A and B are shown apart, each in its own frame.
Chain A
Amino acid sequence: MELNNTKIIEMYKTMKRIREFETNASKLFAEGQIHGFVHLYIGEEAVATGVCANLREDDYITSTHRGHGHIIAKGGDVKYMMAELYGRQTGYCKGKGGSMHIADATKGIIGANGIVGAGQNIATGAGLSAKLRGTDQVCACFFGDGSTNQGTFHESLNLASIWRLPVVFVCENNLYGISMHQSRHQAIQDIADRAVAYNIPGVVVDGNDVFAVYEAANEAIERARNGQGPSLIECKTYRHHGHFEGDPAKYKPAEEVAEWMSKDPLPRLVNYMLDNNILSKEELNEIDRQINDEIKEAIKFAEESPWPPIESVVEDIYTDIVEEVEK
């Protein structure tokens, strides 16, 4: 299952695109250009990338409040994403969802989600739908360590297991449920342990190593596609920023931060690629420059896009009813 160079470079581009998007989002938030709650994925790029690199366009993902990375990895367009963060009419959600609710049904992205753990239930539904329609589509369900204490986690793993649904549950264990360290929010260290209770495979992988994530996801997705049912992949990772932008994350010990910064998934992949002559330093710089331009263009697109018209406030609630716009 050795990955070819094209695929490795593709994965690098995705990770870099996420990093660049998020770094800019952070800056724009600090400058007051974008508003609301913005939860950034910086540090966790290898997870979304390693999983989505195994998915087909017609496969599904469900995402979380920290969803930008998943959406980019599944093929979401950074232009429409950025416009949505700006609350503009051209955004993915026409400015009605913002950072936490981006979806692109044409790419199988059935939504980021502002409720912790809610995506797990929805993912089982997508899996059930694929099964009932007789397709071999798979749904990858992303969620954090914090959500594994929600009832939804247990209900979903149970249901997916008894119905053998094609769902791959991908836990991004970034060590914190908001500000609460994992050791304080649950009596286990490996969330994969919980797979035993639902009679499904549970594995732990280094979530900061895109190859490790890729390999585990590859096996789990194949399993799901072949009708063998769900699995739980726990990716040990770390969010470099606070829970949301504006959270100084004082609850994180400096030593811990330093240790995880040294395990940053991006430099690890860069070193691997240069080391194995997968690309040259010049080629790498060229990719980085292109991605930088892409994000700049996305920001420009967002800034130049119009605000949504007031009448649209009552549109898209139903397929067939438009509510009164009058207050």
Chain B
Amino acid sequence: MKNLSMMEAIREAMTKKMREDPTVFVMGEDVGAFGGCFGVTAGMFDEFGAERVRDTPISEGVIIGCAVGAAATGTRPIAELMFIDFATVGADQLVNQAAKMRYMVGGKIKLPMVVRLPLGAGTRAAAQHSQSLEAWLAHIPGLKVVYPSSPNDAYGLMLKAIEDDNPVIFLEHKLLYGIKGDVDENSKPIEFGKADVKREGKDLTVVATGKMVYEALNAAEELAKEGIEVEVIDPRTLFPFDKETLFNSVEKTNKLIIVTEENKRGSFAGEISAIVAEECFDNLDAPIIRVCSVNSPVPFSPVLEDYYVPNAGDIVKAAKKMF
């Protein structure tokens, strides 16, 4: 057991797999000696060298496209884009190539590749470096979407992502890189589609992803003081999505709040809400509430950005409407 930051946990998992399997390699902008935009790959260049920790030009399209070609021909690339916002530049390669190739060719090709996408607001980086675009990705059949919130989850999910024979989108919230937690280095990969109950409670279910898991836990702490016991669920993977854990919780609490950092309109929070409304309606005692960011681009000014992102206070306020 080691106490690692989320960033270290991701690095440890990649390093472990690269030691085990010579076909695993990392590519992306400044991932080499520079260590990656946020330092996630720091030190890996020293161990594996320039061949397997490859600096790429600033060419998001070919970073993903090259990973597709490499994955189709016997290697296991891990591609890093600096920000999820830049996935739009390589969107064709992600949406039309990576996601669809296997299907279009009738299952004759597999694409074991991971695309790491740092995301999220809170770094005062304004609208093109702060988005949460997970709904776009989860919308596309052919991609798996992973979004860990703790170092241990990140470690186990990264192990699984590299082992997976399909394109896996690995979402990393930038504000969580420094968060510390115990990681069991000998633990098994975490299966996709298994949510984690981060706090148990009987009165209200809060589903949250990424950094919002912590806001939900803080809100739960606050609400507990008023006698409301909140159950906080982190789905950990958006696709495949663990319906069972969620339905069991809603069956118990009869109330659901969904918290994500996305713009509310067209969000994955909306998808979760729809799933519960369609398949678990009879267990609901109150309308579902989504707590998301406002429908604006991510603003720059700290005053505006702090308002833009949901926080524990917003969750508490929403919860109180239900009681």
Residues of B with C-beta under 8 A to A139: 69
Q: Is the CB of B61 within 8 A of A317?
A: no
How many B residues touch A, CB cutoff 8 Å? 44
Binds A, one of B39-47, B93-101, B315-323: B93-101
| A187–B61 alpha-carbon span in the complex (Å) | 24
Q: Is the CB of B61 within 8 A of A320?
A: no
A155-B59, A158-B59 given; A132·B109 CB < 8 A: no
| A115–B71 alpha-carbon span in the complex (Å) | 19
Interface residues of B in 54-70 (CB under 8 A from A): 54, 56-57, 59, 61-62, 64-70
A110-B109, A155-B62, A319-B110 given; A126·B70 CB < 8 A: yes
Residues of B with C-beta under 8 A to A113: 97
The verdict on A228 contacting chain B, using a C-beta distance below 8 Å, is no
Q: Min CB distance, A182 to chain B, in Å?
A: 23
Give the interface residue-count category, chain A: 35 or more
Q: Is the CB of B74 within 8 A of A159?
A: no
A152-B62, A159-B59 given; A128·B69 CB < 8 A: yes
| A215–B220 alpha-carbon span in the complex (Å) | 72
Q: Min CB distance, B72 to chain A, in Å?
A: 5
| A129–B75 alpha-carbon span in the complex (Å) | 6
Summed over the interface, the residue pairs from A and B with CB atoms below 8 Å come to a total of 154
Residue of B nearest to A98 (CB): B104
Q: Is the CB of B69 within 8 A of A124?
A: yes
Q: Min CB distance, A319 to chain B, in Å?
A: 4
Q: Is the CB of B104 within 8 A of A128?
A: no
Q: Is the CB of A60 within 8 A of B73?
A: yes
Q: Is the CB of B102 within 8 A of A317?
A: yes
Per-residue contact bits, chain B 211-255, to A (CB 8 Å; 1 contact, 0 not): 000000000000000000000000000001000000000000000
* Chain B residues with a Cβ under 8 A of chain A: 23, 25, 51-52, 54, 56-57, 59, 61-62, 64-75, 77, 92-93, 96-97, 101-110, 141-142, 144, 164-166, 240
Q: What are 18 A-B pairs with beta-carbon distances under 8 A?
A: A93-B105, A97-B105, A104-B108, A105-B108, A110-B69, A113-B97, A121-B68, A122-B69, A124-B65, A125-B68, A125-B72, A125-B73, A126-B69, A129-B73, A132-B25, A156-B62, A159-B62, A316-B106
* Chain A residues with a Cβ under 8 A of chain B: 60, 62, 91-97, 101-105, 110-111, 113-115, 118, 120-130, 132-133, 139, 151-152, 155-156, 158-159, 162-163, 315-321, 323
